[in-house]
Amino acid sequence: MNSLLPLPSSQSSVPMQRTRGGGRLSVKQSAGESRIDRLFQEGAARIRIPRVPRGSPLEAVLINTAGGLTGGDAMDWEFEAGEAASMTLATQACEKTYKAHGCSEARVSVRLKLNPESSLAWLPQETILFDRARLSRSIEVDMTAGSRLLLVEPVVFGRLAMKEAVTEGEFRDRWRIRLDGRLVHAENMCLGPHIAAALARPAVAGGGLAMATVLMIAPEAEARLPAVRQMIGKSGGASFLVARPPNPATPETGKLLARIVAADSYELRKVLVPLIRLLNPQGGMPKVWSI
């Protein structure tokens, strides 16, 4: 018997529905508090502002109402901290990237701008990649002298507790951070198509399924280095470099970079949570993070 509602064949020319979303938020200093200046959101992107204690950085929670990403989806985020303003950005939950169809890929774009004497903490929860997921992400940051940046990006390849295994897929990550127009940090990472084989290599993850990059650019970065190394222990490493603005008359700032590898997301959080509290004393941990 023929179905009245036949399923479309794999050769169907009907395009599949894709997720699109974009959000922009700028924060200004007003009466001693960091307040919303401009807010825009469209598609599957939502930005919510929870209450925080007086004097704390403005906290914004980013939401993808689609519940995850797959090939062909695109999310674009843009944030600006005005002069002397401070903000903390976090995601409502872990962003899941599911199996992609064919050669399509999910795309995430993040643009951050920091004005003089401002501070911004980018603290999303883990990005979880499932088997045969394809994700391309770019992070662009424009800073000015005297601003402070904390950038934390954790990634998990499958959920160990759910017995999920990621064998194939692709993850491409591109970061560019500029200080007064000068490039002070650049990295390109690409894992795939044989992700499990790559993670098993000692020089990559040594069999670990979770990793994180922590980047801090601030005048106090060098002073934090000994404590950061102690917290990370054998889970990774940390280094420090002076970040010089192009204007010789501008005071130097510092760049602290840490890499962390763990067996799973639980072990990764055991290191990340105290590390974020150390490097983000004014804002602390975002409320949405489950500790």
**Of 196 and 248, more confident:** 196
Cα separation of 107 and 74, whole Å?
5
Mean pLDDT of 23-41: 95
Integer CA distances (angstroms), 57 to 1, 81, 87, 100, in order? 63, 10, 5, 37
pLDDT at site 289? 86
Mean pLDDT of 78-90: 97
pLDDT in tens, 151-177: 999 999 987 667 678 889 999 999 999
Taking 90 as the threshold, does the pLDDT of residue 214 lie above it?
yes
pLDDT in tens, 93-152: 999 999 988 889 999 999 999 999 999 999 999 999 999 999 999 999 999 999 999 999
**DSSP-derived secondary structure letter, 180:** T
Taking 90 as the threshold, does the pLDDT of residue 280 lie above it?
yes
Domain boundaries, the chain: 21-136+143-170+190-279
Contacts for 151 with CB less than 8 Å, ≥ 6 apart: 122, 139, 141, 177, 213, 214, 215, 216
pTM of the model: 0.91
